[in-house]
């Protein structure tokens, strides 16, 4: 089978790019001919003779909305020209504006636009206006493309419900949860000094976007005021972030360690004591599963879909994302009881091991092969070609 995968990133990093990477890897394992259409690709994927790489450069614009728009436009033009060459086309989210056999929805902008925590809904400013326009622009393309797609993948049951509420036929939506690389994220000890982390202190970790309020770092910083012994490591892109200033205003900047964007998150997770992300909206929340695989007790909120996998034995799930007292108490409960943290960590590892990337990628390729057979005039008379 000749498969075309369209996405901005195919790399072994975080989030959507990791999903695309694993799908490509599984397609290669199964002997399919794979064409990757994107901006960034992991070199190891190109080592296979089964892979063709079509790079879509987006070097004209530094502003994200313009760079993404340029990518989508160029990917659409390329796909319109070459679509007939492929047995199946998969597009990650709405990163191409032409037809595909399968789209994967990682994030539904309509829901985020309605959230009271969207930057524009919290405080209209020039910066929040940009985020409003960004969300509306990509919401437009999602609403245009998803209803006409033969098949959709939602990364969680919650996201499928959001798509169904928008009028999309439930029967054509498959739920495939994200996975975790247990060979990369696993329990152990790390050298804090080598990682730039503080020594000999209770250390919590937050990983995520620290420019927007969606991941809710501000509530975590507020809770830190009442936990004078606890330090917090924050991994996320710093340029444009308001949170270093907020930490200083709250008087906790000496205990908040902004690490910037890091590629060694797995090592960092082995160097901390617990993981905290009180997110206000997430369609999955892969980083929580990675923390569980790393043997960390986790604290999150019901707003993260991955919270459904967090049992009372493996972590604490808060019902109110804005409850500073509840978050403070949850952190204190784990920090003050080292045995509890270790017990939770062990339980989390067991849960994570049943949600691996191999399983996730296998489900995608099973779906691809099923969709390919459905496209044939007489499925029973034509065998699926797998070399």
pTM: 0.84
Do residue 148 and residue 196 come from a single domain?
no
For residue 94, is it within any domain?
Answer: yes
Q: Does residue 386 form part of some domain?
A: no
Antiparallel, parallel or unpaired: β 315-318 and 33-38:
unpaired
144 in a structural domain: yes
Query: DSSP assignment of 164-204, as one string?
Result: HHTT--GGGEEE----B-TTTS------HHHHT--SSS-EE
Question: What confidence score (pLDDT) does residue 318 get?
Answer: 97
% pLDDT > 70, the chain = 97
Domain that holds residue 23: 2-179+356-381
- Given a cut of 70, is residue 382 above it in pLDDT? no
Do 76 and 97 contact (CB within 8 A), yes or no?
yes
Residue 223 shares a structural domain with residue 335: yes
| Same domain, yes or no: 136 and 156 | yes
Let me know whether 237 and 329 are in one domain.
yes
Which tens digits make up the pLDDT trace of 312-327?
Answer: 999 999 999 999 999 9
Q: Are residues 316 and 272 in the same domain?
A: yes
Tokens of 243: 């949170």
- Contacts of 14 by beta carbon, 8 Å cutoff, 6+ apart: 265, 286, 287
Is residue 155 situated within a structural domain? yes
Is there a single domain that holds both residue 240 and residue 99?
Answer: no
For residue 37, give both structure tokens: 């259409």
Residue 378 pLDDT: 58
Render pLDDT for 56-82 as a digit per residue (tens, 0 to 9): 987 766 788 999 999 999 999 999 999
Q: How confident is the model at residue 308 (pLDDT cuts 50, 70, 90)?
A: confident
CA–CA distance from 345 to each of 54, 151, 157 (Å)? 42, 37, 25
Q: Domain check: are 362 and 274 in the same one?
A: no
Answer yes or no: do 331 and 257 share one domain. Answer: yes
CATH of the domain at 130: 3.40.50.2000
Query: Taking the CA of residue 250 as centre, how many other CA atoms within 13 Å lie in the half-sphere pointing to its CB?
Result: 23
Q: Are residues 166 and 266 in the same domain?
A: no
Count of positions (residues) in the chain: 387
Number of domains in the chain: 2
212 and 335 inside one domain: yes
Q: What is the mean pLDDT of the chain?
A: 93
3-class DSSP state of 382: coil
SS3 359: helix
- Report the C-alpha gap between 197 and 195 in whole angstroms: 6
Please indicate, yes or no, if residue 298 is contained in any of the structural domains: yes
Same domain for 257 and 171: no
Strand partners, 276: 299
Half-sphere exposure of 80 (CA within 13 A, CB side): 9
Q: For 31, list phi and psi in degrees, rounded to 5.
A: 85, 20
Cβ partners under 8 Å of residue 5, min gap 6: 20, 23, 24, 27, 34, 35, 36, 37, 38, 90, 92
Q: What is the pLDDT of residues 99-138, one digit of tens each?
A: 899 999 999 999 999 999 999 999 999 999 999 999 999 9
Residue 300 lies in a domain: yes
In a domain, 318, yes or no: yes
- Answer yes or no: is 187 within a domain: no
Task: Tell me how far CA of residue 378 lies from CA of 171, 381, 382, 383, 384, in angstroms.
Answer: 22, 6, 7, 10, 12
Asked if pLDDT for residue 148 goes beyond 80, the answer is yes
Residues 325 and 346 occupy one common structural domain: yes
């Amino acid at each position: 089978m000749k498969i075309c995968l369209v996405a901005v990133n195919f790399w072994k990093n975080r989030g959507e790019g990791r999903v695309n990477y694993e799908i490509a890897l599984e397609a290669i394992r199964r002997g399919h001919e794979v064409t990757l259409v994107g901006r960034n690709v992991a070199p190891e994927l190109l080592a296979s003779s089964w892979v063709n790489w079509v790079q879509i450069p987006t070097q004209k614009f530094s502003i994200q909305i313009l760079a993404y728009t340029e990518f989508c436009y160029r990917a659409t033009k390329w796909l319109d020209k070459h679509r007939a060459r492929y047995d199946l086309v998969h597009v990650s989210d709405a990163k191409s504006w032409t037809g595909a056999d399968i789209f994967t929805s990682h994030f539904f902008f309509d829901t985020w636009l309605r959230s009271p925590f969207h930057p524009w809904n919290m405080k209209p400013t020039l910066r929040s206006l940009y985020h409003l326009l960004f969300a509306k622009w990509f919401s437009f393309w999602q609403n245009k493309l998803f209803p006409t797609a033969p098949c959709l993948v939602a990364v969680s049951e919650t996201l499928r419900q959001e798509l169904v509420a928008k009028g999309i036929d439930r029967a054509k939506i498959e739920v495939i949860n994200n996975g975790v690389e247990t060979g990369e994220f696993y329990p152990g000890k790390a050298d804090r000094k080598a990682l730039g982390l503080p020594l000999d202190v209770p250390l919590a970790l937050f990983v995520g976007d620290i420019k927007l309020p969606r991941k809710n770092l501000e509530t975590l910083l507020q809770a830190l005021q009442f936990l004078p012994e606890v330090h917090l490591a924050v991994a996320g892109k710093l340029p444009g972030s308001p949170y270093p200033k907020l930490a200083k205003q709250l008087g906790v900047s000496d205990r908040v360690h902004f690490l910037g964007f890091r590629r060694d998150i797995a090592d960092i997770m082995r160097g901390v004591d617990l993981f905290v992300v009180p997110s206000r909206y997430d369609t999955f929340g892969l980083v929580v599963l990675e923390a569980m695989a790393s043997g960390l007790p986790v604290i999150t909120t019901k707003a993260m879909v991955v919270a459904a996998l967090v049992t009372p034995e493996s972590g604490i799930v808060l019902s109110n994302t804005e409850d500073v007292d509840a978050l403070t108490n949850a952190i204190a409960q784990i920090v003050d009881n080292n045995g509890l943290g270790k017990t939770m960590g062990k339980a989390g590892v067991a849960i994570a091991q049943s949600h691996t990337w191999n399983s996730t990628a296998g489900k995608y390729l099973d779906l691809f092969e099923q969709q390919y057979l459905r496209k044939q005039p007489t499925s029973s008379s034509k065998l699926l070609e797998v070399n």
